[in-house]
Amino acid sequence: MIKSIAIDMDNVIADIETHLVNLYEKEYNVKVDRTALLGVSEDEAFPDKTAARRFIHTPGFFRTVPLMPGALEAIQILRKKYEIYIVSAATEFPLSLAEKHEWLAEYFPFISWKNMIFCGSKAVIKTDYMIDDHCKNLDYCIGKPILFHASHNVNIKHHFRVNNWQEVLAYFEKEEQNA
């Protein structure tokens, strides 16, 4: 039986953090010190505490997010051996639903609409693995939770962590060897 992987969008395959930094730097004409983002939520990351939410609620925000380095290539490799589901708690940001669907169609056209799950709570997801940047999602994972590194989660220690997509591939190679 083929195993399944739930993969989050924001800060896992879609580089929200870089997008927010770029938008902030452009609008405020300042250079953001990315070390200042470590251990704080997006809402607290910038001197103007309203900026991140304002950007996120701006039409076009989710459609124009850059692709996370290595994500496309890694998912193309993983899909040869695993059932891949892209899972996003997108209902928190209703504007994001169509934009995320369009974004996925552009960058991951090989992912069927049947494998795109836009939800509120990821507690309903029942896959063998879940790759996410938030513990609020991983804590309920019935499979193996994998914490994808993001500035806001640097202090999280209770889930297995990967720092990039190369480490994701290495993890799954090791899983296959141990099977």
CB neighbour list of residue 129: distance below 8 Å, 6 or more residues apart: 3, 4, 5, 6, 82, 143, 144, 145, 146
How far is 126 from 8, CA to CA, in rounded Å?
14
Residues 10, 15, 132, 133: which is the catalytic one? Answer: 10
Whether 8 sits among the annotated catalytic residues: the reply is yes
Whether 132 sits among the annotated catalytic residues: the reply is no
How far is 10 from 16, CA to CA, in rounded Å?
6
How far is 121 from 88, CA to CA, in rounded Å?
9
How far is 129 from 106, CA to CA, in rounded Å?
25
What residues are labeled active site? 8, 10
